[in-house]
A and B are shown apart, each in its own frame.
Chain A
């Protein structure tokens, strides 16, 4: 993967073998995809530099009732949107909404990416070993994956979130739980690929020459599995972000005082009739980041795996 062989002349650009190049081509494959990729970059920057941007705005996460009107609702039009408060303020507390949304982006992305990484690593290890080793291990992994896929895991997580100890960092718990329920999707796809790869001559050759399972996994199988892994991982990020937000929305995800889009949206429901602007920015950002990851993930799939794509 490090040094891709030069593409022979005459072969269309589609046959490029380098993975980063393929991803880059996917991102640039259409105007919409480029816009969405840009959106991801912007939101990632917003999350990474949340403190900096909030400092730039001149606000913080501290309540400030001076920004509220006599009824506890934000003073001024549009939920208090102004030069000082870019997204307005939260009703009753007067916390700056831009600060809340920027820090919420950090929570969302952290949990979404962390759970995807954990789920993908687990899925690849289990899927490859099942496909390559076969036998009872294969049957066990496939069966477990099927059970987890059909299991009402969100219900389970809701119930689990209610009884988990409060003093443990909730983001870590969420990453672990979402990752543990997320591996079967990866494992299924990777296993199917490993099953066909294991029968190929170069794998047999590596084995005959004395390569152990680990050598075959890292040197022979993995380089051929990167494409499906990237596809399934990029499409799992938005669903993980959505799951985190849903759990926080129900009050069993990220706990206060850590900002979370899901919890802000949940709070905004109570002010729906009096201050609808409260809902707009966290809701819009959650929708946009999910949409952007979905669009880009789709484009990557169409590029890396043209057969299974929706654009036939």
Chain B
């Protein structure tokens, strides 16, 4: 019962966040002077033509009507224009890309596999690597292992993603020639090639983020190991392995989960840069291309879609938090 209420409250909170984020994003993009109708209208653009384009794209009504049209599109789909030229965008409709004449969501959908492959693989590696190295440093505190790990972590925190990517490509793709320089192979086509093409981006992204987790884990582990309940566990005669692995680690993971939730947004941005360096056509590339052609519906659609994704993932992280820490469920 209590768990159900916890989940329900968090779910309601998530919906509210989504609504506010959509609203703010929409207003910000609306007040900016970019005018997709004018761009679609072509040159020379007659006032009548512009008016027609505006009506077709749904830009002729006040901004709050546009906002609700957009929201309505997500839930029930929407139709642009009337008659034979009408375009129907089925629900959930995140907007229509008038430049390429396709709906934004299917553009995202066609590329999401690439971004997910990059992001998820990297996340798994960095959590395992970061937490592992952090625990190791904490247990071997003051030794060479500890100092080298922490120095590397500091370098990782300070390294911009694209620089780390370039260095990675130089060493492993050009000099040693052990991994491909760029490109992407779908998982369904050839799993081995898929992983092979992704190894470098994974480790580059993981190197940058693992650093933060290693530092955090180390500090948290050192603090936890000084707690009374750890002394009790040791006094009971538990093996050191059980004390660290069971009793201490559970407490250490709490802040890690929190940081991971915050990092999800950054991870998406990280894939934008990674895709640019490694020449992959993911959602990040879609965004960068949309910038170049000032494709407003795509910009808005991708921004809102990533906000949706991050909010939903954060909701899941919250649930994980509740599972890890019974106290959190009381809120």
A interface vs B, CB < 8 Å?
147, 149-156, 158-165, 238, 242, 245-246, 249-252, 265-266, 269, 272-273, 276, 279, 283, 286-287, 290-291, 294-295, 298, 308-310, 312
Contacts and interface: CB of A to CB of B under 8 A. Distances in A.
A158 B294 CA distance: 12
SS of B interface (majority): helix
Given A158-B287, A246-B160, 10 more contacts: A150-B311, A155-B265, A246-B162, A249-B162, A251-B291, A266-B162, A283-B166, A287-B158, A287-B163, A290-B159
B29 A312 contact: no
Interface in B214-255: 215, 218-219, 222-223, 226
Contacts of B226: 312
Contact of A312 (B150, B163, B222): B222
B297 to A, nearest CB: 11
B166 to A, nearest CB: 6
B152 to A, nearest CB: 12
Given A150-B265, A246-B161, A155 B273 contact: no
Nearest to B223: A312
Contact of A287 (B29, B160, B265, B291): B160
Contacts of A310: 150, 215, 218-219
Contact of A163 (B17, B268, B299, B311): B299
B291 A162 contact: yes
Contacts of B74: none
B291 A245 contact: no
B219 A152 contact: no
Nearest to B20: A147
B162 A159 contact: no
A164 B272 contact: no
B85 interface: no
A158 B298 CA distance: 12
A245 B311 contact: no
Contacts of A155: 265, 268-269, 272, 287, 302-303, 306-307
A283 B164 CA distance: 10
A133 B121 CA distance: 44
B277 interface: yes
Contacts of B154: 291, 294-295, 298
21 contacts: A147-B17, A147-B21, A149-B262, A150-B311, A153-B269, A155-B268, A155-B302, A158-B269, A159-B29, A159-B303, A162-B290, A163-B32, A163-B34, A165-B33, A242-B160, A269-B166, A269-B277, A283-B163, A287-B160, A290-B159, A290-B160
Contacts of A295: 154
B291 A250 contact: yes
Contact of B174 (A164, A266, A273, A286): A273
A170 to B, nearest CB: 14
Given A155-B272, A312-B219, A160 B28 contact: yes
B269 A152 contact: yes
Contact of B261 (A150, A238, A245): A150
